[in-house]
Amino acid sequence: MSEPVVLGIESTCDETAAAIVRGRELLSNVVASSMEEHARYGGVIPEIASRAHAEAFVPCVSKALAEANMDLADVDAIAVSTGPGLAGCLAVGVSGAKALAWAANKPIYGINHVIGHIAVTQLQFGPFPPDTLALIVSGGHTSLLHVQDVARHVDVVGTTLDDAAGECFDKVARLLGFPYPGGPHIDRHAQNGDPHAIRVPQGLTQGQAGARHPYDFSFSGVKTAVARWIETQQAAGRDVPVDDVCASLADSVATVLARKAMRGCEQYGSKTLIVGGGFSANSQLRAKLLEYGERCGVEVRIPRIKLCTDNGAMVAMLGVNLVEAGVAPSAPDFAIDSAMPMDKISM
117 is in an annotated binding site: yes
The domains of the chain, with CATH numbers, are 5-120+308-325 (3.30.420.40), 129-305 (3.30.420.40)
113 is in an annotated binding site: yes
187 is in an annotated binding site: yes
pLDDT tens, position by position, 202-251: 877 887 878 888 899 988 888 899 989 998 998 899 999 999 999 999 99
310 is in an annotated binding site: yes
For the four alpha carbons of 194, 289, 264 and 162, in that order, the dihedral sign comes to positive
278 is in an annotated binding site: no
326 is in an annotated binding site: no
256 is in an annotated binding site: no
140 is in an annotated binding site: yes
- The answer to whether 11 and 93 are in contact (CB under 8 A) is yes
Check whether 43 has a pLDDT greater than 70: no
Q: What is the pLDDT of residue 41?
A: 60
Q: What is the pLDDT of residue 292?
A: 97
Check whether 124 has a pLDDT greater than 80: yes
What's the predicted TM-score (pTM) here? 0.92
Contacts of 319 (CB under 8 A, 6+ apart): 4, 6, 7, 8, 21, 77, 78, 79, 109, 111
244 is in an annotated binding site: no
Closest alpha carbon to 135 in 166, 107, 110: 166
Mean pLDDT in residue range 157-169: 86
d(CA 205, CA 175): 25
pLDDT tens, position by position, 242-296: 999 999 999 999 999 999 999 999 999 999 999 998 888 899 999 999 999 999 9
The H-or-E segment that residue 232 falls in is helix 220-235
- The answer to whether 170 and 220 are in contact (CB under 8 A) is no
Q: How confident is the model at residue 169 (pLDDT cuts 50, 70, 90)?
A: confident
Report the 3 state secondary structure along 72-139: HHHCCEEEEEEECCCHHHHHHHHHHHHHHHHHHCCCEEEEEHHHHHHHCCHHHHCCCCCCEEEEEECC
153 is in an annotated binding site: no
Check whether 97 has a pLDDT greater than 90: yes
